[in-house]
Structure 1
C-alpha cells in the first residue's frame, strides 16, 4: 500500500527525507525575491471579460486616464481657498507636479491649467488662463473666484462649492505609478511654506498603496502568527520536541507553495498574499495529532518503529481525508470567475496536500532521528493523559453535559441556527479599496475630507452611443443617386460623381462629405445652367454631414441635459459633467454672457459653431473627453462621493429608472465604464462564483464523508459542524453589519476545510472506541480524554495564534484574523458539544458505529 511505502521511506531513510525537504525549500525560497505584487481590482476580472474590455476601450476612445486627486484645503481664512497665499501654494504645487515622470502633463487639471471662458463681444469669445500667475492681492483672488463660479464645468470639480478646497487632477501613465508619485508629490508639499492642509485621494493611489503595505504586512503577519503558534504550543505541551516538527512542516509548506506561485510567474494579489495565513494552521494540525498519538503509544526503551507504524496506520486515513476535504474546499475556488481567487484557491489546495505529504514523511523521520533520551522526554510530555489539567477537567465535564442535556442543547442550537439564518439575509455585498485601510489611515482621512468638500473623487462613466441601422454614407449615396438619376447633367460630371460615390465606404464620413462637397461646389461653377441643382445637392451633403454627427442634434443634447439635471438631484451623485454643460457655457459667452443665454442652441449648426469656437481654447482636446470626433459617442462623467459598491449600484439603478421612464432616443444605447463600475462587476461575479463553488464543494465533501465512513448517517454527522459553522459565521457577519467583501467570501473555503477536519477526527475515534467498548457512555469518556483534547488544543492554538493580525493596518488582514479565530472556536465547539448531543438521540448506536468487534 502507498501508506506503508511512505511510512517505510520516512522511518528507514530519514536523511533522504530531510535532504529532499531542504532541497525543495531552498529551490522555492530562491523564487521569492522575484515576487510581483498586484492589487489592481481590474485584474479581478479575466483580461477578455466583456465589461473590462469595454472599460479599456472607453478609456482609449475618450483619452481617459487614472488620476490622483490632490486636495488643498483652507477652512480658516474668510475667503477660504481664494486667498493669495493658498492660490500661490496651489500654483506652485501644480507646476511642480508637471515636472514628475509618469504624469500626463497635457491632461492635468488645476486652476493654473484651465481657461477662463468669457464674452468678448456678440458672436466672439475670449479664452484666458484662469490663473497663469498666482494672484498678488485679495482682489485678484476674488476675480478668480468670480470666474470659476461662472463656469459649471469647474465649480465643485476644481473648487469646492464651499470655496474651502481646490483640487489638482493628476492623470498618470499607469496606476502602478501612483504610490511613487504620491510620495514625490508629498515631498513637494513638504517644501511649501503654506498653512493649508493637503490631501491625496483616488482609487489608483489607494490600490497601489495597498499593494506596498500588503507586501510589508505579508512579511510581518505570517512570521508573527507562526511565532504566536509556536509559543502557545510550547505553553500547552512544554516540549520543544513536540512543537518543532509541526512548525518546520508548516513553514516548509508555506515556503514551497509561495515559491511555486511566484516561480510560475503569478503576481501576488490581495488573496494570494494570505496563503501563508490560511495554510499555516492547516499544516500544523496533522503533525500535532501524530506526535500526540505517538507520545501516548510509545514506551521508553522500545523500538519507535512499531509505535510509529501503529500510529500512522491509525491516523493515515482520517488525515488523508481531512487534507483532501480541505483541499476540495479551496480548489472549488477555481470555479469562480475571478482569476486571483482561482490562483489563491488552487495554490492553497496544493499547499494542504503538500503539508499532508510533508507530515507523513517528515514527522516520522523527525521522530526516528531523535535519540532514546529525547524519545523518553516525549513520554514526559504526554498530552493525552493529563486529565487533571484545567482543559482536561473542562472537556470531561463538557462530554458528560453534552450527553445529559442533549435535548436542551439541541434546542438552543436550533435557535442559534434560526437567528444565524436571519443574519445571513442581512448580509450586504459591498467593497471599496479605500476601505481596505483602517479609518485613521491617511488615505481614509483624505477620502472623507475631500469627498466632504468636493462633488466626489470616485468616477463612473456613462457612455451614450448611436448605432445607425443604415450607415450615413449609404443613406447619402442613395439620396444623391436618386437626385442625379432625375437630372439631365453633363456625362463627364456624372461619371466623376459616380466614382466618388462608389468610394464612400473606404473613407471617413466627415472627410468623404468634405471632398464630395468640394466636388459639388466646383460643379456649380462649371455647369452654370444647373447651378441651383448643384447647390441643392451641396446643401444635402452639408445637412447629411451635420446629421451624421449625431450628438450635435439639439433634441439629443436636450435629452442628455435633462438627464443630467434630474440625476444631479440625487444625494448619491455629486455632479455630472458632459457635453451639454460645455455647449451651454460657450453658447452663453458667444451671445452676450447673460445667464438667460445659458442654454443649448436650437440647431445642430449652432451647436457645431459653438464647439468650433471652443476649439480656439488652450485645451481644445478636452472636447474629445466628452464626445468622439465623429460625434457618435458621448461620455457623461459622474462624480461620486462614495466608491462603495452599494452606492455605485444605487446610482446605476437610478440611471436605469430614469431611462425606463424617459426612453433613450432611437438607436442610442447606454453603457457603463470606469473603475467604480468595474468594482461592482467583479464583486457580483465573485459572489455568484463563490456561492456556486461552495455548493459544489459541499456536495463533494458530503460524498467523501459517506465514502470514508461507509455510512450515510456518519457522513451527514460529519457535515453537521461544517454546516452550522458556515451558517453561524455568515449569520454573524450579517448581524454585526460587516460588508461581504472578498476576504469574507473566501472564508467559506476555510470553514469548509477546518470544520470537517475536526468532525472526521472526532467521529473516527468515537467509532473505533465504541467498537472496542460497545458502550456509548464509555466511548464519550474516552473520546473526551483524547481526540477532544487534541481538537480543543488545535483550535485554541490556531485561534489565538492569529491575533497578531488584529494589529495589522490593513482591514482585510484584521478581517481574516478575527473570523479565522471565530471559525476555529465555533467549529471546535460544535464538534465537541453538538455532535455528542446528536449522537445521543440516535437509538441504534450499534448500527451507527458498526457494533462492538470481538478481539
Structure 2
C-alpha cells in the first residue's frame, strides 16, 4: 500500500482528476436506477413457489389488487351508497383497471315460482327507505357478499379492483388516490381507505424514494457537524465527507449500470455507507494531525501518517467487507445484492481514502495547531480514566460483562420472525389502518389459494372441495373461503324455489354443467374465471386471513398443508396451497436459516482474518469478545422489546460483526505497537487510549450518527435495524475501550509482546 500512497502524494492532480471523472460518469447513471418493491423479488426467479404462483395466475388471473374501503355509520343509506356507486363507476373508467367488484357489480341469485333469477344486486341507489332496507336484508343474508363486499354489520363496503397486467403500481396508485381524494372532499362524513397488493407495492416504492431523499441530506449534515466537532478544521470535515459522497454516488451508479433493482434491503446501502465510509478517512486525518505535530515536509508527514495507519485501516476495511460479504450466501436475492454493493461501496471508500485524501492533504499547508484547537482535551482525560479503571478493576469488569451478556441472552428465545409487508409500515400509516379495518370488519387482508386439480364437474370432487372449505373455515384466523361450490349451492337452492333443503351440491354431473352455463350466460363469466379454468380441470379455493401476524399466517398454511397431505396427496384429485400467505411462511424459514448461516460465516471469517493478522488464535478470539457481547445484547433486546426478525433486522449480525470488530482491531494494534517500543503496560495503555482511543471515539460517533439516519425511515424494519445496530456499535466501542484493557491485563497474551520483556 505504501507505493499507492506514495504515488498519490507525489501526483495529487492525477489522482484528484481521476476520482472526479469517475464520480461524474457514475453519477449521471443514478437517475436510471430502478425500484422493485414486490414480495416476489425476495425469491429467485426459478424458486418453485414463484413458478407455481405464475402458473396459478395463468390459470385464474392476476392476484394483484387495489381495494377501496368505504366506512359509514350505515352503508345502506342513500348518501353512502351514492359514494360507493360513484367510486365504482369512476374506477371502472380508469385506465389500468381491468375489473371492479362492488355492491354495484355483483349478481344476486334467487329462486322464483318460474325458476331462477340472476340479476345485479343493485343497479342504482334506491330512493325510498323500504327499498334500502330490502337491499340491506338481501346483501347481509348472502354469504357470497358478507365479508367480501360488505361487512356483517353493514358499516363498511368494499370496492375491489384488478389492475391490468403491466400497469406501473405507483402510477395506478396515484390515479386511484386522486379519485379518492375527490370523494373525501365531497363526502367528509365518510371514511375512505386504500389497501391491496398493488397499493402495498406502490407505497413501498414511494417510501423507498422518500427515505433516500431524507437519508442523504440529513446524513451528510450530521456528519459535517460531527466532523467539525471532532477536528474543527475544513480539511478534517470535508475530506472524510467526500469519501462518503463518492462511495454512495459511485455505488448507486454501478447498480444502475448493471441493472440491479433497488429493493427495501438496498435501503441499507446508503445508511451503511453513511455510517462506515468515512471510517478510513477519519483515522488517516487523525493520524495526520498526530504526525504533523512532529514536523517535517508536508508530503512526508502525509505519507508517514497514511503508512503508519495503513495496516489497521486495511484490516478494518477487510473485516467490514467480510461482514457484509457473508450476505452473498443469503438465499434472498435482495439481501445478496445489498451485501454485494455495500462491499463495493466500502471498497470504493477505502480506495478513495488511501489515495484521494493523501493527495489532497499533500497540497495543503501543515496545520499550525492540533485538530479542534484542544477542545477535546477532556476526551483524553476520559480515555485515560477508562484505562485506569479497567486495569485496576479488571476482574470486576469481566464478571460484569459476563453477567450482562447472560442476562441479555435470556431474551433471545422470545425473538419472533415477521415477513408480512404491511408490518413494514408504522402503526399510523394509512395502509395499516386500512388493513386493520379489513381484518376487524371484513374477511381479512391476506390471501392464499388452494389449487384443486382433477375432474372439477364431478359431484364427488365438488363435495371434497366443500369439505376442505369447511375445515379451513374452522380455523380462527380464516375470515372466509370462496370456490365454485359456493355458487353451485346457491344455484341449486334457487332452482328449487329457495328451499333450504336444496342448499347442497347436485348429484348430477349434467345438472352441474347446466347451472354453470346458466350463471355464465346470465351473470358475469369473469366471476367464475378466477375460480375455475376453461376446461374444468383446475379450480381454486380462495382463502382470506384476518391476521397480520406472520407466525399465525405460517401456522394456518402449515395446518392446511398437513390436512391436505393426509387426504389429497396423490390420486386423481390433488390439492396444494399457493399465494402470498405461502410466500410469507417460506420467507420466515429463509430468514431464520439465513441469519444463522450469515452469522456463522461472518464470525468464522473475522476470526480467521484477525488470527492471521495477529498471528495468534488467541488474538482472534480476543477480538471476537466485544462483538459476541454485542450479539447477545442485540438479540436479547429484540426478544424483550418485541422487535421482529425481518428482512432488514436479519442482516444485523453480519453488519455488526464486520463494523464492530474495527474498534478492537485498532485498539489492539496500537497497544501492541506501544508495547513493542518497550513501554510498560500502563504507559502503553494510556498512550493507546489517548491517541487511538480518541480516533476510535470519533469513528464510533460517526458510525452511530450515520446509522441513526435510518431512524427517520418510514419503514419499521429499517428503523429497528438502525436502532439495534447503533446499540451494538456502542457495545463494541465500550468493549474495545473498557473490556479489552481488562482482558489483556488479565491474560497478558504472548502475541502482544513479540519478544519484548514484560
TM-score normalised by L of structure 2: 0.95
* Aligned match of 1:544: none
Matched, 1:291 2:195: no
CA distance in 1, matches of 2:493, 2:376: 89
Task: Tell me how far 1:420 sits from its aligned partner.
Answer: 2.8
DSSP-derived class of the 1:72 partner: strand
DSSP-derived class of the 2:677 partner: helix
- Which has the larger displacement, 834-843 or 41-50? 834-843
Matched, 1:159 2:150: yes
CA distance in 2, matches of 1:597, 1:351: 69
Which of residues 181, 185, 191 in structure 1 aligns to 2:176? 185
Deviations 1:39-65 (A, max 9, x none): 111111111111001001101101233
DSSP-derived class of the 1:275 partner: helix
CA distance in 1, matches of 2:568, 2:253: 55
CA distance in 1, matches of 2:481, 2:405: 46
* Aligned match of 2:30: 32
* Aligned match of 1:596: 501
DSSP-derived class of the 2:125 partner: coil
- Cα 1:853–1:101 shift into 2, 3 Å: farther
Which of residues 447, 467, 483 in structure 1 aligns to 2:435? 447
- Return 5+ residue gaps in structure 1 as ranges: 467-549
* Aligned match of 1:44: 42
- Cα 1:35–1:600 shift into 2, 3 Å: same
DSSP-derived class of the 1:189 partner: helix
Which of residues 718, 725, 734 in structure 1 aligns to 2:630? 725
Tell me if structure 2 keeps the 8 A contact 1:199–1:450. Answer: no
Task: Tell me how far 1:459 sits from its aligned partner.
Answer: 1.0
CA distance in 1, matches of 2:393, 2:723: 30
Task: Give runs of aligned pairs for residues 653-668 of structure 1, distance below 5 A.
Answer: 653-659=558-564, 666-668=571-573
* Aligned match of 2:127: 136
- Cα 1:387–1:577 shift into 2, 3 Å: closer
CA distance in 2, matches of 1:22, 1:800: 27
TM-score normalised by L of structure 1: 0.85
Tell me if structure 2 keeps the 8 A contact 1:323–1:352. Answer: yes
CA distance in 2, matches of 1:604, 1:834: 78
* Aligned match of 1:261: 255
- Return 5+ residue gaps in structure 2 as ranges: none
Task: Tell me how far 1:598 sits from its aligned partner.
Answer: 1.3
* Aligned match of 1:231: 225
Matched, 1:408 2:396: yes
DSSP-derived class of the 1:160 partner: coil
CA distance in 2, matches of 1:378, 1:256: 35
Task: Give runs of aligned pairs for residues 57-96 of structure 1, distance below 5 A.
Answer: 57-75=55-73, 80-96=74-90
CA distance in 1, matches of 2:588, 2:95: 33
Task: Tell me how far 1:723 sits from its aligned partner.
Answer: 2.1
Tell me if structure 2 keeps the 8 A contact 1:203–1:434. Answer: no
Tell me if structure 1 keeps the 8 A contact 2:554–2:581. Answer: no
* Aligned match of 1:814: 719
Q: How many residues get paired?
A: 755
Matched, 1:170 2:137: no
DSSP-derived class of the 1:116 partner: strand
- Cα 1:710–1:827 shift into 2, 3 Å: same
Task: Tell me how far 1:111 sits from its aligned partner.
Answer: 1.2
CA distance in 1, matches of 2:391, 2:169: 61
Task: Tell me how far 1:591 sits from its aligned partner.
Answer: 1.3
Superposed CA RMSD = 2.1
- Which has the larger displacement, 623-632 or 157-166? 623-632
Deviations 1:692-724 (A, max 9, x none): 233122212211111111111111111222222
Tell me if structure 2 keeps the 8 A contact 1:115–1:127. Answer: yes
DSSP-derived class of the 1:593 partner: coil
- Cα 1:377–1:250 shift into 2, 3 Å: farther
Task: Tell me how far 1:67 sits from its aligned partner.
Answer: 0.6
Deviations 1:466-509 (A, max 9, x none): 3xxxxxxxxxxxxxxxxxxxxxxxxxxxxxxxxxxxxxxxxxxx
Matched, 1:119 2:111: yes
CA distance in 2, matches of 1:581, 1:749: 50
Which of residues 839, 847, 853 in structure 1 aligns to 2:744? 839
DSSP-derived class of the 1:162 partner: coil
Tell me if structure 2 keeps the 8 A contact 1:242–1:378. Answer: no
* Aligned match of 2:136: 145
Deviations 1:758-798 (A, max 9, x none): 11111111111111235222222222111222112221233
DSSP-derived class of the 1:112 partner: coil
Tell me if structure 1 keeps the 8 A contact 2:230–2:371. Answer: no
Tell me if structure 2 keeps the 8 A contact 1:66–1:173. Answer: no
- Cα 1:40–1:255 shift into 2, 3 Å: same
Task: Give runs of aligned pairs for residues 380-779 of structure 1, distance below 5 A.
Answer: 381=372, 388-389=377-378, 391-466=379-454, 550-659=455-564, 666-779=571-684
- Which has the larger displacement, 637-646 or 812-821? 812-821
Task: Tell me how far 1:175 sits from its aligned partner.
Answer: 7.6
CA distance in 1, matches of 2:710, 2:43: 28
Higher radius of gyration, 1 or 2 = 1
CA distance in 1, matches of 2:566, 2:722: 47
Task: Tell me how far 1:630 sits from its aligned partner.
Answer: 2.9
Task: Tell me how far 1:563 sits from its aligned partner.
Answer: 2.5
Task: Tell me how far 1:671 sits from its aligned partner.
Answer: 2.1
- Cα 1:555–1:840 shift into 2, 3 Å: same
Deviations 1:243-276 (A, max 9, x none): 2110011111111111111121112111223311
Matched, 1:11 2:9: yes
Task: Tell me how far 1:205 sits from its aligned partner.
Answer: 0.6
Which of residues 199, 207, 228 in structure 2 aligns to 1:205? 199
